Amino acid sequence: MDRFASFCIFLFVLWLPMSKPVAAQGTTHLTVQLDRLRKAKATEQEAMAKNDSLLLAEAWYLYGKTYAFSGDYRVSQQYFVKSLSIHEPRGDSFELGRLYVRLSENENRQGDSERALYYANLATRVFQRIHSDDGLMRSYGSLGKAYERNWHGQWQRNRAKFDSIFSCYKKVESLGYQLKDTMGIAEAHMQLGEFLTQVNDPKAIPYLESGLHLFTINHKIGPSVDAMAQLATAYLMVGKTTLAYQILRNAEAIYAREKLNEYTILLNLERVFVHYFETTGQFDKAYRRLKTKSELERSILLEDRNGAIARLNVEYETAKNVTLLNAQKRELALRDQNLLTQRRFMSTLLALLIMALVMSLVFFQLYRKKQRISRRYEDLLKEQNHRVKNNLQVVSSLLSMQSKRLTDETAKKAVQESLLRVQSMAILHQRLYDGDHLAEVDLDDYIREVTKGALQAFGYPSLDTQFDIESIYLPADKAISMGLILNELITNACKYAFPQNSEPFLAISFHKKGQKLILTVTDNGPGMDRPGLDRPGLNRYSVNPSLDGYIPNGSQPAQSVTTSARRSHTTARSFGMALIQAQVIQLNGTSWFSSSNNPADDGTVFTLEFNA
């Protein structure tokens, strides 16, 4: 910097307000700056509320800075170490390197140059690994200070060590210009100026004046006061005592007016005042300033000793906070595990739900397919029944036409009887086609319609038949056999029982008894021939499927038994009787004829039993 710029700074320093000159101060007890402390406390509370360990590390870092400004380096160091315990396990970061810089500065102020150098090297390596030029500006400055302390009394005589220190500060300056960081440049110039002052190099003054100028235009009050003290030392070095005193008085006034309350700045001011008074031969004032400086240092030591309990409390609170944080972490871990379990349960439940939906869809499709097949089967079965009925009607029509052409009465009757048998089967298929049950028929309707058809065919349409029939559904194959048996019985009654009776009687009943179905047909004809029996109504005959006749109930079956005539007009081996036997066999049942229950009356009862 040229002399004109130096003169401008000199005039600016002389212009600074001096409305509150400060005399030699007595014992000073520095207190922690409340605004900084409140900020650190608020950050800590926010970290605890959010359970944020990184934010808690930042709160401890702010605590460390606050206590460092007040000169309590031990408490400051404790907070920095607490913050370090969170950042170090996470690996390299700007915050980790920044902590190493702060630890190095504290160790340097407490006189442990080895530890200061150790932390400065750690910071430099971290910032190099993360490629942080801003961080390197800080770490190179700390590294230079650590070298100064560590090589104390050596670097002034050892050019290599001098160059190493000077190189560190020049790197800070170069990075500041590279980043266009005004404060970084100001810090570099202050470090270079203070370093050169120690070897009585006048080049220190331009650096210090530049640093003061940059701090002033950026309104950095604390650094400006510190720079003024360093510049006064440089002026004393070159013999500018008046200028040095004016700068010191202005710096002291600014410190008092702004209530900076920063230990390092105040201690540095007292040191430079002592140096000034010693240089100018004012030993009484130098003594008073030296006493103030000593009392300030002693008060710091006393406060450090008296603050042991306070530090223990801080450590206790810190440990308590860490314990609480760990408990919250465990709670969060447990909550996360519960959430994971719930997610797995929900995923499993969702998978099962999806599977159930898919299976439901599959079953629905199968159900729909089954319905379509059932409807198709129903349509086909109805179509089959309809065609069978139509074919039977065609056969019935052919038989009817044929009977009209016959002249032989016996043949004509045979054709008419066959016509009735065909009609009974046609009625069944009509019922199957019209009904809701595709393969079953309601015997009540079927028996009534078969009976009605047979009576009409033989001229008895008005005969009042007594029906006692349960509503039972029977499969089509069994119903056909039932219909043929019933048709033969009614045909026989119309041919042989009713013509000889002025009041014909016909009763049909059908019931279910246990697992058995029982059909009973009763008429009031002349009855059956009962050879060898004196009391009518007691003879019962069963169909033997192996014989073409009847066996009296209770008799032992014989290999050759003649069939008793149903009536005097019916031969033992008639076609109707053979047809009845064949249908009973088809039903796997048992049938028999018996006399009426009333011995005084004629009549015949036919009974059929078969499994449901």
**What pLDDT, on a 0 to 100 scale, did the predictor assign at position 437?**
61
Question: H/E element holding 64?
Answer: helix 53-69
Instruction: Average pLDDT across each block of 10 residues of the chain; the chain has 612 residues. List them in order.
Output: 44 39 39 83 92 92 88 87 92 94 90 90 94 93 89 82 90 92 91 89 92 90 89 90 90 87 81 88 85 72 49 54 69 82 88 89 84 68 61 66 67 70 70 64 87 86 90 86 89 85 90 92 72 33 37 34 34 70 92 71 85 84
| Cα four-point dihedral sign 84, 87, 89, 92 | negative
Phi and psi at 584, nearest 5°, equal: -65, -40
pLDDT of residue 83: 93
Domains and CATH numbers, the chain: 181-286 (1.25.40.10), 437-611 (3.30.565.10)
pLDDT at 420: 73
For residues 319 and 77, what is the distance between their CA atoms, to the nearest angstrom?
15
> pTM of this prediction?
0.47
Check residue 596 and give its pLDDT: 66
Residue 525's pLDDT is: 77
Residue 399, CA distances (Å) to 162, 225, 340, 414, 422 in order? 142, 139, 86, 10, 9
pLDDT at 180: 92
